[in-house]
Every structure is written in structure tokens, then in C-alpha cells.
Amino acid sequence: MKRGIFLVGLFLTVVLSCKPQTNEAKDITVENLQVVLENEDNVQLLDVRTPQEWAEGVIKDPIKIDITGEDFEGKVLEKLDKTQPVYIYCRSGGRSKKATELLAKKGYKAYNVLGGILEWEEKNKE
């Protein structure tokens, strides 16, 4: 199973690296995010939910910036490395889609996690 996930991740990496690099918002499934988190170091995982939602649980150890809070763009510029991909999630995908589009316009390699933390929790039930 791990080998299959690794091969999917490897395939995804090869496909993405062969495309011309454009800064447009992209989507990623929770399965592919899991591969990224398992196989890459220093992943920029951005949780754009509210502090109340963070208290209910997060994926791994995210950077937390509330998209509805004050100075979202300023905090993004302060905390994120523009040279590295950013994987963005919220509760179900709406806010993260907006954040992904915004960051892509600012020059980030931004990926929206489809289905958000609800999909993550559904796929990762023990």
C-alpha cells in the first residue's frame, strides 16, 4: 500500500515538473496531500480556518492564518516562502479555494486541498 502511494506521489511529481511552471491555482486530493506530507520535508501546509476551528483539530502541524482575519495577505507574505509550494485547506474547500487563487496571483505555487479537513478526516478514519 505504501509503495502504491509512493508511486502515485512520484508520478504526480514527474507530471507536475514536466509542465511549464505557471502560477495558477491548482487542486490536490487529500490522498495526494498525504503522499506529500509523508515524503517531503518542510511542507508549507496552510490552514485558513478560524481560531475556533483550529481548536477542534488540524492536519499535521500547519501554518495558521485566518483568511477572514485582519491582514491575511500581510501575514502570508510574512510567514510563507514564495519559492516553495503551499498546500491550503479549510473546513470543506471554499475558503481554501479563495486563498489558493489569491496566493497564486501573488506568485505562490498554491494547491487547494479538495474537501478540506472534513475530507481528510473521512479518508483517515482509523
Catalytic residue IDs: 90
How far apart, in whole angstroms, are the C-alpha atoms of residue 104 and residue 99? Answer: 8
Strands (E), the chain: 26-28, 44-47, 63-64, 86-89, 110-113
93: helix, strand or coil: coil
Q: What CA dihedral angle connects 7, 104, 120 and 5, to 10 degrees? A: 0
